[in-house]
Amino acid sequence: MASITGITRIPMVIHMRIRIHTIMGTIIPTRMTDDSASLPSTGDAALYRLLSWLSPAYPVGAYTYSHGLETAVEDGLVRHRQSLADYVATVLHDGAGAIDGPLLAAAWRAAQAEDHAQLDELAALGAAWRSSAETALETSAQGRAFCDVTQAAWPDPSFAAFCARHEDSIVHPVAFGVASCWQEIPLRAALFGYLSAFAANLVSAGVRLIPLGQTDGQRAQAALLDDLQRATDYGLNTSLEDAGSATLMLDLFSIRHETQYTRLFRS
């Protein structure tokens, strides 16, 4: 079986972009501190909210999803620390990260502008923009859980109304972006944090599946810093018309996982 190591990232990436053109019209301009090169200053209260939402203890069920990784491990394509880091980096740059980043940024900006029509369109777009039943479940179940627990612990009337309008179609990055804006969390901090938590969850899944030691898991996580910074920049600076994914093999892993005989994860 072919190895995925020794090659730049993972050869499962097909270099094309699948674009979804929306009817959203003009993108809301970025505010002054949105796209700064470094994380803007975050007040203690906003930072506390952000860290709470990104904690593995925040009950959105992230630990139950592997994003197709379980099938990749079963096939022997991900079998050690380097191949795990390559898999996660591919997801960040060419898979879900390349969709969720622009979605989260667009949701934050629409929330800042109080553009509820655009927020509703983003919710619908995010729900449709998935390549398999399990990746759709992964983001929608976490989005719904995030809405529920955030309304209970950090209540905000506008966020509650937004979630109520989309009970069956709210995806995690859109819900996270809206809540971050209305809870005064800067966009770059919110996006970098969201992608970092997403990557950490996949690394944690790999530690359990391969298996790896905890220290090797942290080495894999540390190796992803540059990828996370670049994925954050991409999310901040890419319009939804130009965003897209190109990880057909990862999508097939997710589809095959639906009927995989022995499974620890829901995706």
Positive or negative torsion for Cα 62, 38, 98, 123:
positive
Q: What average pLDDT score do residues 176-187 get?
A: 98
Provide CB contacts within 8 A for 81, sequence distance 6+. 212, 216, 217, 219, 220
Quote the CA–CA distance of 195 and 227 in Å, as a whole number: 10
For residue 267, tell me if it sits in a domain: no
**How much of the chain exceeds pLDDT 70, in percent?**
84
Quote the CA–CA distance of 81 and 212 in Å, as a whole number: 7
For residue 58, tell me if it sits in a domain: no
- For 118, the domain range is 44-53+67-257
pTM for this predicted structure? 0.85
For residue 206, tell me if it sits in a domain: yes
For residue 29, tell me if it sits in a domain: no
The whole-number pLDDT of residue 24 equals 36
Q: Which two tokens stand for residue 132?
A: 């398999």
CATH number at residue 205: 1.10.4190.10
For residue 36, tell me if it sits in a domain: no
Contact 68, 254 (CB under 8 A): yes
Positive or negative torsion for Cα 19, 23, 29, 33:
negative
Q: Which residues of 31-58 are buried (b: 16+ CB within 10 A; e: fewer)?
A: eeebeeeeeeebeeebeebbeebbeeeb
For residue 133, tell me if it sits in a domain: yes
pLDDT exceeds 80 at position 26: no
For residue 6, tell me if it sits in a domain: no
The whole-number pLDDT of residue 10 equals 44
For residue 125, tell me if it sits in a domain: yes
Write out pLDDT tens, residues 84-105: 999 999 999 999 999 999 999 9
Domain count across the chain: 1
